[in-house]
Structure 1
């Protein structure tokens, strides 16, 4: 083997290593930096705060990752957060049944995902346009259903979903996020469905030629995103102890940012669930670190936007090399 070929192989292996694990080192570096420059970062209460924050964004981001991997986008997640909150709150108010409230919220969020997916698969609408339209529809329905007003959760035990701890230590929302991450990992990396999602995102025409049912796989990606967002809605409703039709504004950008930072390609066909989880943690660390340092919230938004741009530029550079 020539020296040049060996050098090229080493360069490729180095690039591959950075692509796979670079984001993990970024997360570790942020943790170390925040530990040094802030006083309370490693305190128990602050760690609980970080876990609570990333659990809601994380559930949404996992569903978003699946949609983007298939070459789509889901801008309905913020509105679905409000819809799930209102539906769960109304069911609790009328029946006082926690299981029924949870099931109803998840099923109705899934139905919204079915409608969105069918619009895209059946009528070949651009995902951005279809989900933007559905975002307005869902937000309007949530407002109409609630009368435009917030109302408290009728069953106090429901709040344990958002505020409870297992063995008095581990927050329940963090465990829910962990369970969803495992489910998403199995779906995307160990099942035929996951292989189809990657195939559609990588080359839709080739997937069709290979016999992949693009129609229903596309619909199912939005159904899964809807269900995962429904879980996030239950956590948030329990956490704030109220149903609110105006929550969730801007949450789609947090989910997209977590996915892109975690290595999900906007071009489709490239993603990892562990990478998305790391992206979720990084977003949470940014918010928490800036709060501890007293940075105004608008600068947090600026920082998030810059991170998305940098992640997309890095993705484009990696695609050119491939």
Structure 2
């Protein structure tokens, strides 16, 4: 049994457990298999998966980004405020994404140039950007958004929610970068052995900028999409999103020591956690128990991942 666990990739456990949950929920919750519930799950998964894909890029280089939840809130509130002050939707969207990229640039410079640990930089960012969200909103919910904002989130294309299609596009784009471009190979190389990567001429600061700008840029996009889904912007939204994103990436096979992880794994992890959350609501499970189960699941997947690494090391 132990040998079998060592042979199977972590993503296999995630997909298998998700399918098992779907079977159990289809038998115990009559409303689980309804079109409305699946559409809601796809919209919920879209935002969390996009944020998880961004965090994955920082994990691949053996970093971490604890600020993404606050960046989602900050950029979401910024987007809503720009619209409420009369800016055209495309311009407000562009400026919001630009703000997210700038946040990533600040994080990367602090980490790569100033040598401050990523944990400290992004933990500080978690407080700073949540505070900025509160400041620019006055601590109030921002509403009165143009109809086009909520129409996008509620709309569908070829039978799939627009938010889910956006997630698929982002996943394919980042997967292409990571797997088929020199930049992707450099990111994995730095995460595997930063010193060896430096010796062969890979610019560590530049790759750190790429990873953290992708992370914060996708967090900004997540903020825009979350505002579109909720039709309002609140400085308290996206609370604990950073933990969910890291958990989705790790459960999907990413190593916190760097050098390993896939976009499809992060998406699979996000789908699993969305399924657990949705099932808990349908079955009226105490949300505190949901938190306990998610924590135990993360511990189990990390254990299975360690078994696999021992096999590769010949232990």
Q: TM-score range by the shorter chain?
A: over 0.9
1:5-154 equivalences under 5 Å are 15-19=6-10, 21-154=12-145
State the shift of 1:222 in Å: 0.6
Q: When the two structures are aligned, how many residues end up with a matched partner?
A: 311
Structure 1 position 156 matched with structure 2 position 147: yes
Contact preservation (8 Å) 1:161, 1:234: no
Contact preservation (8 Å) 2:5, 2:308: no
Structure 1 position 224 matched with structure 2 position 218: no
Contact preservation (8 Å) 2:6, 2:307: no
State the shift of 1:13 in Å: 9.0
User: Alpha carbons of 1:92 and 1:206: their partners in 2 closer, same or farther (altered >3 Å)?
Assistant: same
RMSD: 1.7
- What per-residue deviation string (whole Å, max 9, x for no partner) do you get for residues 260-296 of structure 1? 1110111111111111111111111111111111102
1:117-266 equivalences under 5 Å are 117-166=108-157, 169-266=159-256
The match for 1:297 among 281, 287, 297 is 287
Segments of 5+ residues of structure 2 without an aligned counterpart are none
Of structures 1 and 2, the one with the larger relative CO (CA 8 A, separation 6+) is: 2
State the shift of 1:20 in Å: 5.2
Segments of 5+ residues of structure 1 without an aligned counterpart are 1-10
- What per-residue deviation string (whole Å, max 9, x for no partner) do you get for residues 18-44 of structure 1? 445333222222222222222111100
Report the Cα distance in structure 1 between the residues aligned to 2:145 and 2:91, rounded to whole angstroms.
13
Larger Rg computed on CA atoms: 1
Using structure 2 for the length normalisation, give the TM-score: 0.94
Contact preservation (8 Å) 1:58, 1:255: yes
Using structure 1 for the length normalisation, give the TM-score: 0.92
State the shift of 1:108 in Å: 0.2
Report the Cα distance in structure 1 between the residues aligned to 2:208 and 2:169, rounded to whole angstroms.
23
Bigger mean CA deviation after superposition, 221-230 or 93-102: 93-102
Report the Cα distance in structure 1 between the residues aligned to 2:215 and 2:268, rounded to whole angstroms.
19
The equivalent residue for 1:308 is: 298
SS of equivalent to 1:72:
coil
The match for 2:263 among 273, 288, 292 is 273
Contact preservation (8 Å) 1:264, 1:270: yes
- What per-residue deviation string (whole Å, max 9, x for no partner) do you get for residues 152-181 of structure 1? 0431211123222225x3211101110110
Report the Cα distance in structure 2 between the residues aligned to 1:170 and 1:73, rounded to whole angstroms.
32
The equivalent residue for 1:7 is: none
Contact preservation (8 Å) 1:159, 1:238: yes
